[in-house]
Chains A and B, each alone.
Chain A
Amino acid sequence: MKSLADVQNALLAGAVHFVLPEVVLVGTACLLFVLAVVYPRRTAAVGLALIGLTWAVALTYSVGSGETTAFWAFVEGTPYSPHLLAAIDPTGLAALIRWLALASGFIFVLLAWPEIQDHNAGEYLGCLLVMIAGSSLIGRVNDLVSLFLALEMVSIPTYVLLYLPLRGRGEQEAAVKYFLLSILSSGVLLFGFSYLYGLTGTTNLGALLAVLSAAHQHAITPMALIAILMVIAAFGFRISAVPFQFYAPDVYQGGPTGVVAQIAFIPKFIGFVALVRVLGLVIRPQDGLPFEASTTLIPLVLWVMAIVTMTFGNVLALLQDDLKRLLAYSGIAHSGYMLIGIVVACGLPGNSTPALSGVDATLFYLIAYGLMTVGAFALILYWNSQERPIRTIDNLGGLGESHPLSAALMTVFLFSLIGMPMTAGFAGKFMLFVSAFEAPVEPPMQNLYRILAVVAAVNAAIGAVYYLRIVGVMYLRDPLHPVSSARRAVLPLFAACLCAIGTVAFGVYPRLIADSTQQATPLVEVPGNAAVVARM
């Protein structure tokens, strides 16, 4: 039988094979940085970035489910759980997250086209690829240090991207605001992580959660609560949940649209994934969740956060005239909806196996949200021109006549954001509400889930008002400016088409994704190894 050290070394040596697509992405990014110096051309850079992404996709496809098999093979015949040992864990969410990251990478490269010039193309796309690699890593790193670094792999390039097209004061303000607050949130996150490490003596996420759960069977450590609150606060910044949302409107308004589209999706995406992983919702420890509703108030904190976030976002979105600001508040509101799934998953007792675990609903909604929001930003990017800048909602007047196709696409996205049937937004909201209603009514949370679902439904109705207002302006109002004949970049429109196809397809036939999200969150009971846990 293999000894513990053997298993550990095998896992370490094998870890390289679990991150190959990310290595390709980062390597391509390095090539792009070099290319930017040697041959600064936009076409070459975009071509190279697409080649890198395609290569990563090919690698991911060829690996398939092989990595999970290989992962389990390392511990075959031993009593050790790989979740407690490995630094890279390709099971569970990992594959889905990687596909999502790569897909969003393609969309964002298309969106980047009108915003980059020859002199900054290499840097822009290189940073974008590093971001994609980082967000793909979030799904599989199983170690606090790696998790933090993967999060920073997304944050640091974002600062660069916000700075690259440095033009006016608005952009500068957006870049500085995002930079300072993001640094602060990273600091808080590290603070929380350091407490978690200090309490458990391990940086391995699985082992850490196992130790915490085992300890919380007997008594709650106040230090762990402080730590997890700090972690939630830091992720709250990334998912722009109230009260950590202050940066969002200004950054969305001031930043370059293509980058704002990235900020609207990628940080939220990684924030939610990291949150569910740190809360132990993906791979449940044997002794139950470390922060259960019956013993800690953490689910209740998240519950309050969800309600405040969605209401705050929706009410303030009603007051906005600036289109990107409106999308910022709408993004905040949607974060509130997505938190529902996490609250539900946090409150589930260990032995229940509902049809919807909450986490999968959140993941589905995350995908739907990405499609519709990024699509909307793509269209703003497509319409925006020097003669006819798109800043406020009024600027959209008459687009229904002048640009029938793109206006129709925008309508699809807005309907999806409202949650009209036959769109992905509807399917996502439906899954969230059902998961909240199906959750068992037990003492600690009792009817709170139902209240949450009702509040969310009311909020969805409020949201309809401002989304429909945009649709109305597009089709009923006369244009403010004469229609320009300037040539437009087609790539953002193409990206918007892709997003719209996805929105409708997943709305009509949600199983396309719902199946994979449900498979990705199997609520594995970790077999656990008392010996390993005990010595750590």
Chain B
Amino acid sequence: MTFHDALFLILATASAVSALGVVVSSSIIRSAIWLLFMLMGVSGLYFFLGAEFLGAAQLIVYVGGTMVLVVFGGMLTTRGPFDHVPVGLVGWVLGGGLSLALFALLVQASLSFVSHPRTDTALPGTGPLGLTLLGVPETPGQTAYLLPFEIVSIHLLVVLIAAAYLARAKRRPTSTHPEADHG
């Protein structure tokens, strides 16, 4: 076993164990934190494969952005210290069975996967990635994602408006509606 294999084993085991932790843990915060370590492990795999940009982006977007909010939200909404959400036997059997089936399928698919070696000599990197995202694809068969990119910005705009509105709404007296005290 070479050093690289060992490194890969460590990263892969860490990701897999954390992924199991997400499922097995009955506390939401714990699940979230396990998920966090899973994502870190996966980004470690990206670094390991030489896809540094992808790894860093994964860390910044998922670990540093999304998961902080998830953990934050979890901490704000738990009712007591170390809130637990017990899972029944049926849930275990059903969920476990389904995920095992999916796992088997994925293993089968990844074992039958044939990788095509690259034929072109152009260097992969963040440059082509950015060009594909915004502009014209360099090779035929690729799709340019300018329109989706613009649509995403519209999403973000709507979400920002909603966030601002929600934050503002708390201070506004909603007495114009008599149903306000209905609930």
* Residue A218, interface by CB 8 Å: no
B76 contacts the other chain (CB 8 A): no
Q: Which of A15, A149, A167 contacts B180 (CB 8 A)?
A: A167
Known: A123-B165, A163-B166. A149 touches B148 (CB 8 A): yes
> What A residues does B183 contact at CB under 8 A?
168-170, 172
A87 touching B147 in the complex, CB below 8 Å, given contacts A8-B140, A167-B179: yes
| Chain A residues in 8 Å Cβ range of B179 | 167-168
Docked-complex contact B158 and A4, CB < 8 angstroms: no
Q: Contacts A123-B161, A156-B158, A168-B182; is A149 near B151 (CB within 8 Å)?
A: yes
Q: Mark A127-138, 1 if CB is under 8 A from B, else 0.
A: 100100000010
A30 contacts chain B at the CB level, 8 A cutoff: yes
Judge if A455 is at the interface, Cβ distance under 8 Å. no
Cβ B143 vs Cβ A88 within 8 A: no
CA distance A150 to B105 in the complex (A): 30
A468 CB within 8 Å of chain B: no
Given known A167-B179, A167-B180, contact A12–B144 (CB-CB < 8 A): yes
Interface check A451, CB cutoff 8 A:
no
Contact A160 B158 (CB under 8 A): yes
- The yes or no answer to B169 lying at the interface (CB within 8 A) is yes
User: B142: shortest Cβ distance to chain A, in Å?
Assistant: 8
Closest approach, in angstroms, between the C-beta of A124 and any C-beta of chain B?
10
- A22-61 residues with Cβ-Cβ distance < 8 A to B are 26, 29-30, 33
Contacts of A226 in B (CB 8 A): 102, 105
Give the residues from 141 to 177 in chain A that come closer than 8 angstroms, CB to CB, to chain B. Answer: 143, 145-146, 149-150, 152-153, 156-157, 159-160, 163-170, 172
**Complex contact A33–B147 (CB within 8 A):** no
Residues of chain B lying within 8 A (CB to CB) of residue A130? 154, 158
Interface residues contributed by chain B, number (CB under 8 Å): 37
Q: A30 with B157: in contact, given A15-B147, A164-B165, A223-B105 (CB under 8 Å)?
A: yes
- In this complex, the member of B108, B137, B159, B177 whose beta carbon has the largest number of chain A beta carbons within 10 angstroms is B177
What is the chain B residue whose CB lies nearest that of A221? B109
* Known pairs A117-B176, A167-B177; A149 contacts B165 (CB<8 A): no
User: Are B109 and A535 within 8 A (Cβ)?
Assistant: no
In the bound complex, residues from chain B placing their C-beta under 8 Å from that of A137 are: 151
| Inter-chain contact B143/A204, CB cutoff 8 Å | yes
Q: A153 near B180 (CB under 8 angstroms)? A: no
Band of interface residues on A: 35 or more
> A163 contacts which chain B residues (CB < 8 A)?
162, 165-166
Tell me the minimal C-beta distance from B156 to chain A in angstroms: 9
B157 engages A120 (CB within 8 Å): no
| Complex: A19 Cα to B152 Cα, angstroms | 16
Tell me whether A159 and B147 are in contact (CB under 8 A). Answer: no
Give chain A residues whose Cβ lies under 8 Å from the Cβ of B176.
Answer: 117
**B144 engages A87 (CB within 8 Å):** yes
Q: Say whether chain B's binding surface is mostly helix, strand, loop, or mixed.
A: helix
Q: CB of A536 within 8 A of chain B? A: yes
- Is B141 on the interface with A (CB-CB < 8 A)? yes
A386→B178 contact, CB < 8 A:
yes
* Partner pick for A223 among B109, B166, B174, CB 8 A cutoff: B109
A12 vs B132: C-alpha distance in the bound complex, in angstroms? 12
Q: Which residue of B lies closest to A155 (CB)?
A: B155
Chain B residue numbers with a CB within 8 Å of A223 are 105-106, 109
- Chain A, residues 1-26, CB within 8 Å of chain B (1/0): the string is 00111001100100100010000001
Q: Is B136 an interface residue (CB 8 A)?
A: yes
CA A535 to CA B105, docked complex, whole Å:
26
CB-CB under 8 A from A33, the residues of chain B are: 157, 161
**Complexed CA–CA distance, A167 and B183 (Å):** 9
Do B174 and A167 touch across chains, with their CB atoms under 8 A apart? Answer: yes
Assembly CA distance A150 to B148 (angstroms): 9
The CB with the most chain A CB atoms within 10 A, among B147, B162, B166, is that of B147
> B145 within 8 Å of A by Cβ?
yes
A120 in contact with B154 (CB, 8 Å): no
Using known A-B contacts A9-B136, A167-B174, A386-B178, determine if residue A87 contacts B143 with beta carbons closer than 8 Å.
Answer: yes
Complex Cα spacing A226 to B109, Å: 12
In the complex, which of the residues B108, B136, B141 contacts A536, with contact meaning CB atoms closer than 8 Å? B141
Q: Does B4 lie at the interface of the complex (its beta carbon under 8 Å from any beta carbon of A)?
A: no
Task: Determine if B172 is an interface residue (Cβ-Cβ < 8 Å).
Answer: yes
Q: How far is the CB of A62 from chain B (nearest CB, A)?
A: 22
- Establish whether residues B166 and A88, one from each chain, have CB atoms under 8 Å apart when the complex forms: no
A482 at the interface (CB under 8 A from B): no
CA distance A223 to B106 in the complex (A): 8
Q: Which residues of A contact B177 (CB under 8 A)?
A: 165, 167
Closest-by-CB residue of B relative to A160 is B162
Query: Bound state CA distance, A167 and B174, in angstroms?
Result: 7
Contact with B along A504-536 (1 / 0, CB 8 A): 000000000000000000000000000010011
- The 8 A CB mask of B6-44 against A (1 = contact, 0 = none) is 000000000000000000000000000000000000000
Shortest Cβ gap from A208 to chain B (Å) = 11
Having A9-B136, A12-B137, one finds 16 other A-B pairs with CB under 8 Å, namely A5-B140, A8-B140, A12-B144, A30-B157, A87-B144, A88-B147, A119-B172, A127-B161, A153-B154, A156-B162, A163-B166, A202-B141, A203-B143, A222-B109, A386-B178, A536-B141
List the 6 shortest-distance A-B pairs measured between CB atoms, nearest first. A169-B183, A168-B183, A160-B162, A4-B140, A149-B151, A168-B182
Cβ contacts A to B, 15 pairs, < 8 Å: A4-B140, A29-B154, A87-B147, A123-B165, A126-B161, A127-B161, A137-B151, A143-B148, A150-B151, A156-B155, A160-B158, A160-B161, A167-B177, A168-B183, A169-B183
B→A interface (CB under 8 Å): 102, 105-106, 108-109, 136-137, 139-141, 143-148, 151-152, 154-155, 157-159, 161-162, 165-166, 169, 172, 174, 176-180, 182-183
Could you list which residues of chain A lie within 8 angstroms of chain B, going by C-beta atoms? 3-5, 8-9, 12, 15, 19, 26, 29-30, 33, 87-88, 117, 119-120, 123, 126-127, 130, 137, 143, 145-146, 149-150, 152-153, 156-157, 159-160, 163-170, 172, 202-204, 222-223, 226, 386, 532, 535-536
